[in-house]
């Protein structure tokens, strides 16, 4: 058994998982093709998330803003204390879309090294997709394959198709909720032309993805990260955000479309008043829902399964 700490530093949020991982004797790497004769077990000790909006403005400026870096470092100082308290033997931090795109990413690397004592790994979109698949697929051993995992992040969306042997194909495309909201939303609530511009961007991105990933061959669609889980919570009419009830919740395609239309019709204040809404998602959830709705329509399946297990779990499994 290994006690590990996993940190996922995305465009919108930074998250921590400290867990005990135990692997079966026949378990191979979960980030690629693997033998699933003996699946790993993960015992969660703590799971935390802070909205730091590291990628704010990166699509426009090409750089991480000083105030965004400081928000990220402040969260990391808290995480470092938690990691020490729980006695993790290994720490792995990955940084994704916003950091990949930033000219000044060395500033993030230097700050992380000073706080955590390890370098963040600025991983490729393909690596991000494989880790997301590893985290989500471990919870769905009996789901119909091929399994398409969609990780809708702040800066990008990772699409990864896999079967019982592991990852078959993956592609990262730059249509995350923060990037789309910053690029296209100017009105409150968004107007139809702004929404249509996001849909056009998503279709163009999916055209690129389908050059590599045959997404319409999927038998099961699984969505991970905050956009998907929030839409699932809204569709289910939950009185508050409840990760246990949301995990593996199936949301019909029609319900995804209905929630998306409702979010687009709401003002910022109305979205903020929703009981399941995290404050850090209020200004980007409508854009994220558009990404999800367009993807669900393109894949053509009747429903999407929301998973609370994602790249963070994949990062933890990769250290054991």
**What element of type H or E holds 51?**
strand 41-51
The model's pLDDT over 78-121, given as tens digits with 9 standing for 90+, comes to 999 999 999 999 999 999 877 888 999 999 999 999 999 999 99
Q: Report the distance separating Cα 5 and Cα 87, nearest Å.
A: 9
Query: Residue 303 forms beta bridges with which residues?
Result: 252
Three-state SS at 287:
helix
Determine whether 243 is exposed, middle or buried from the number of CB atoms within 10 Å of its CB (0-12, 13-18, 19+): exposed
Please enumerate in sequence order all residues whose Cβ is within 8 A of that of 254, keeping only pairs 6 or more positions apart, or say none.
none
Q: What is the pTM of this model?
A: 0.86
Q: Report the distance separating Cα 272 and Cα 265, nearest Å.
A: 13
| CATH code for residues 136-311 | 3.30.420.150
Domain ranges of the chain: 2-125, 136-311
Please enumerate in sequence order all residues whose Cβ is within 8 A of that of 170, keeping only pairs 6 or more positions apart, or say none.
125, 126, 129, 130, 133, 158, 159, 160, 161, 212, 213
- Residue 26, pLDDT > 80, answer no
Q: Report the distance separating Cα 46 and Cα 82, nearest Å.
A: 9
pLDDT of residue 164: 84
Tell me the C-alpha to C-alpha distance, in Å, between residue 276 and each of 226, 243, 247, 296. 11, 10, 14, 22
pLDDT of residue 38: 54
- Residue 28, pLDDT > 90, answer no
| The residue count for the chain | 320
pLDDT of residue 34: 40
pLDDT of residue 36: 43
- Residue 167, pLDDT > 60, answer yes
Angle CA(228)–CA(130)–CA(167) in degrees, nearest 5?
105
Does the structural domain 2-125 have CATH classification 3.30.420.40?
Answer: yes
Please give the DSSP secondary-structure letter assigned to residue 23: -
First to last CA, the chain: 8
Mean per-residue pLDDT over the chain, rounded? 92
The model's pLDDT over 195-227, given as tens digits with 9 standing for 90+, comes to 999 999 999 999 999 999 999 999 999 999 999
Tell me the mean pLDDT in the region 284-304.
98
pLDDT of residue 16: 98
Angle CA(46)–CA(319)–CA(42) in degrees, nearest 5?
45
The model's pLDDT over 234-259, given as tens digits with 9 standing for 90+, comes to 999 999 999 999 999 999 999 999 99
Please give the DSSP secondary-structure letter assigned to residue 103: T
Tell me the mean pLDDT in the region 257-285.
97
Percent above pLDDT 90 for the chain: 79
Q: Report the distance separating Cα 35 and Cα 237, nearest Å.
A: 39
Q: Which residue has the higher pLDDT, 168 or 141?
A: 168
Range with lowest mean pLDDT among 12-16, 103-107, 164-168, 216-220: 164-168
10-23 burial by CB neighbour count: b if 16+ within 10 A, else e? Answer: bbbbbbbbbbbbeb
User: Among 127, 311, 317, 282, which residue's Cα sits nearest to residue 223?
Assistant: 311
Domain 136-311 in the same topology as domain 2-125:
yes
Tell me the mean pLDDT in the region 301-319.
94
User: Among 211, 145, 200, 136, which residue's Cα sits nearest to residue 172?
Assistant: 211
The model's pLDDT over 32-78, given as tens digits with 9 standing for 90+, comes to 444 444 567 899 999 999 999 999 998 899 999 999 999 999 999 99
């Amino acid at each position: 058994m290994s006690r590990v700490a996993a940190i996922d530093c995305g465009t919108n949020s930074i998250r921590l998982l400290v867990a005990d991982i135990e692997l079966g004797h026949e378990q191979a790497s979960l980030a690629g093709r693997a033998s699933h004769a003996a699946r790993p077990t993960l015992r969660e000790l703590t799971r935390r998330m802070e909205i730091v909006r590291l990628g704010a403005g990166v699509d426009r400026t090409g750089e991480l803003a000083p105030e965004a870096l400081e928000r990220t470092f402040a969260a990391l100082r808290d995480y470092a204390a938690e990691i020490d308290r729980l006695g993790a033997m290994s720490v792995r931090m990955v940084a994704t879309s916003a950091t990949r795109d930033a000219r000044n990413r060395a500033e993030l690397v230097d700050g992380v090294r000073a706080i955590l004592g390890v370098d963040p790994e600025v991983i490729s979109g393909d690596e991000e997709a494989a880790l997301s698949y590893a985290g989500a697929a471990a919870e769905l051993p009996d789901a119909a394959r091929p399994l398409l995992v969609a990780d809708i992040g702040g800066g990008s969306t990772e699409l990864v198709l896999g079967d019982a042997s592991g990852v078959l194909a993956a592609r990262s495309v730059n249509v995350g909720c923060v990037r789309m909201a910053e690029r296209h939303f100017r009105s409150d609530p968004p107007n139809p032309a702004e929404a249509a511009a996001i849909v056009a961007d998503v279709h163009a991105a999916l055209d690129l993805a389908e050059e590599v990933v045959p997404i319409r061959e999927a038998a099961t669609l699984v969505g991970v990260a905050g956009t998907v889980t929030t839409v699932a919570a809204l569709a289910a009419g939950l009185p508050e955000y409840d990760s246990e009830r949301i995990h593996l919740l199936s949301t019909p395609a029609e319900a995804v479309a209905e929630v998306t239309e409702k979010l687009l019709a709401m003002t910022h204040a109305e979205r903020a008043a929703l009981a399941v809404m995290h404050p850090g998602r209020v200004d980007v959830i409508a854009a994220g829902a558009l990404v999800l709705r367009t993807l669900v329509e393109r894949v053509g399946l009747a429903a999407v399964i929301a998973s609370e297990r994602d790249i963070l779990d994949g990062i933890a499994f990769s250290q054991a």
